[in-house]
Structure 1
């Protein structure tokens, strides 16, 4: 059983609404819905909060590793983009056209 089905089953087992779970995890109801539908996965912080709220300790290690790997890949992409844009701006700002120099008359 994948994480989305486990989340939904556990929530229903505890007779909680998506809004009640969202309030405990500090996300929107729509986010809980996306997790349950498998459209997205919780990040590590949200996964820990879900664990506390729903007692998800029995989540399979494979599922936890999948979420961690997904989070790692997203973080890596963000860092790579950040480095890319920093390099671009650095190149632009140090280009001779953009360097202000006083001309003597």
Structure 2
């Protein structure tokens, strides 16, 4: 997970299929996300009647997350202006692996 002007705050893996916001479930799969009380200034947008304009949710299993103050950033690091994407940039992957999973790094 990347936040623009802050840095990387989490590494996770997709663990399910995307679902429209109104159909997405959380927790053990029995509670709809749309029925949860949202915290912060987020507001749901989109047109649920048009699949091309609907807002979708992608379930993620977080492998490791950091506090905002501990974000990972470095000069030249790949930074797409979206919160999530599949990374393939070798230099960025090396930096993130070293920061998020130092126990995996060999010397």
Taking structure 1 as the reference length, the TM-score comes to: 0.29
Higher strand proportion: 2
Q: Which one has a bigger Cα radius of gyration? A: 1
Answer 1 or 2: higher relative contact order, Cα 8 Å, separation at least 6.
Answer: 2
Higher helix proportion: 1
Taking structure 2 as the reference length, the TM-score comes to: 0.28
